[in-house]
Structure 1
Amino acid sequence: MRPFSYSRARTLGDAAQLTHDDTALAIAGGTNLLDLMKLQVETPETLADISRIGFGGIEDTDDGGLSIGALASNTETAVHPRVRSDYPVLARAILAGATQQLRNKATTGGNLCQRTRCFYFTNIDQPCNKREPGSGCGAIDGIAKLHAVLGTSDQCIATYPGDMAVALSALDAQVEIAKSGGDTRTVPVRDFHCLPGDTPWRENVLEEGELITAVTLPAPVGGTQIYRKVRERSSYAFALVSVAAVVEIEDGKFTRADLAFGGLAHKPWQDPRIGEALMGKVPSDDLFDKAADILLEDARGFGENDFKIPLARRTLHAVLQNATEAAA
């Protein structure tokens, strides 16, 4: 780890001033950033500690939803009574994502901003367009077992590694963002992360001087909520494929089907055509296959990760089958 200076921000203005350029980074829980600093992937000259600026509460919203502060820990969120009762897919995703020790430190905002676990990104001796633009993507012809099959480019095939954001995408959450001058904006979590395209180093829509202040969940709905994570071992591994589903079935037909996928792309993957294909239809194997066909229409493997395509099909099929059985 390279030397750095440390400052503590006490207001949003302090945080923006301290992180005004790319030589400074904000830190809260640090569960991802500190690892990257030890590997010299991240080499900030200054760390701005934002853990004391507020934004840590979990509160009801006026429309019956829930606001989760950017500095709320993953543990606080997962065990919150309203999350467990009204948004269980979120609680399950968080609990599937890391050890208790990490959940105690990791924050909502940091979780959304975590960076890929690609071998080529985290190894400074390897080529990586995300870390060093123009150096190439070593994973395309190299170690790609955990890598993306959707939304890739010739610049990058890394995946977004998180679980929480996949559930937030299925729930159609909103990300609240603020600047030091008091300006705010709201971005759907489905649009918060970026696909690699020609700028793989840009992983989300945050601009200079902006910080996440909260994530807002809409008013809860009925139905069945499922989070299924397929991984190489049963505890604390990154997803090969994950599916977050919020599904309602009435009178034997789908009346809601919000689905999001992890482990398949550079961002949590959400294709509205899948829900549209299911709406108003009677659950069946043929219908589930049609949904998988839509999901995987443009899927492309890179050798080592070819298995993800049939695995995603089977996982989606299993989740929809489970939702159907739960509604029976």
Structure 2
Amino acid sequence: MNLPNSYSPSLSHTLLEQLSIAVLLLDEDLCVLYANLAAEQLFETSRAHLLNRSITLFFWEDDDCLDALHNALLDQRPYTRREVHLHFPSNAQVVTIDYTATPFSDVKQKGKQLLVELLPQDRVLHLSRQDSLFTANQVTQALVQGMAHEVKNPLGGIRGAAQLLARQLPDPELKEYTDVIINEADRLSHLVDRMLGSHQCMNFERINIHQVLERVCLILQAEVGDAITLVRDYDPSLPELTADLDSLIQVVLNIVRNATQALLENPSYRPATITLRSRVLRQFTLGKKRHRLVCLVEVEDNGPGIDNKLIKALFYPMVTGRTQGTGLGLPIAQAIVQQHKGLIKCDSSVGCTVFRILIPFDSYLKNH
């Protein structure tokens, strides 16, 4: 590329400093010759600390990433890689980036050099996952609602026919069979009601989120006693939330009960602990909208965790990791929170599973 006559090294330096993309210039040994301001922010260290240090010290995800940088230098061809994880041992932080390595020639410098552009992707991936959760829940809810209505209609007919048949049977002992039909029809009807329950009319009012959490704590202590240790980690400065109290109790109680069952079924995780945490997030984006204040409720347990294969489909109907589970609780909870313009997310590993309920404080006032 031919640069204009007005181009100068000082201008190029100024332009690099204004970029939001982190830029590193590396020598043949992959040591840093230059780092712009965005690179300082990405690596959370000063330029002086970066200069003359090998890029290998920043603990890339795997050796293939470093081999690609070496090959880009040797072959003098650019190389791009998506969603690479950078590990920072100083604070145990992991950052997801896209990077492009381009061979760079400078007639004033001897040896080969490499220009590396690093673009953080954590925020983009975060928003993409949120969109996926919103879309998946809306699609599955529509499917479930249609299926539930189709199932519920014939169930009433089956139950009514079984009752009429019971009255006509000459042998009372045969009523055992009609009782089975009636009981199973009632069970399926109850299951369908649960599938339809997330679209019930809500009573929005001003509440304190800690009313929800304390009610859940009271119910759980009545159910399991001292078998589970409850830890309250509240932010008392949270403003009131415009929400449906009973629905949010249902949401939090469902998540807490799932955590309780996981802990009680795995006695090796002791002491069994569930932490209820409340916080406020400022200038937080949910879906495509940025909110000034968002209420964050976390339900954390120290149980066995959720299988990686299951966690991506956790909010789909009929998906459950328990033999006695129906797979309806979390999809219904997600639908309730979405009616509050919010979202439920989950992160899980062995010894730490966290469900995060996010609801904007202004969700009702601006949308109803």
TM-score interval (norm. to shorter): under 0.3
User: By percentage of residues, which structure has more strand?
Assistant: 2
Which structure ranks higher in relative contact order (CA pairs < 8 Å, sequence separation ≥ 6)? 1
TM-score normalised per structure 1: 0.22
For the pair shown, the structure with the greater C-alpha radius of gyration is: 2
User: By percentage of residues, which structure has more helix?
Assistant: 2
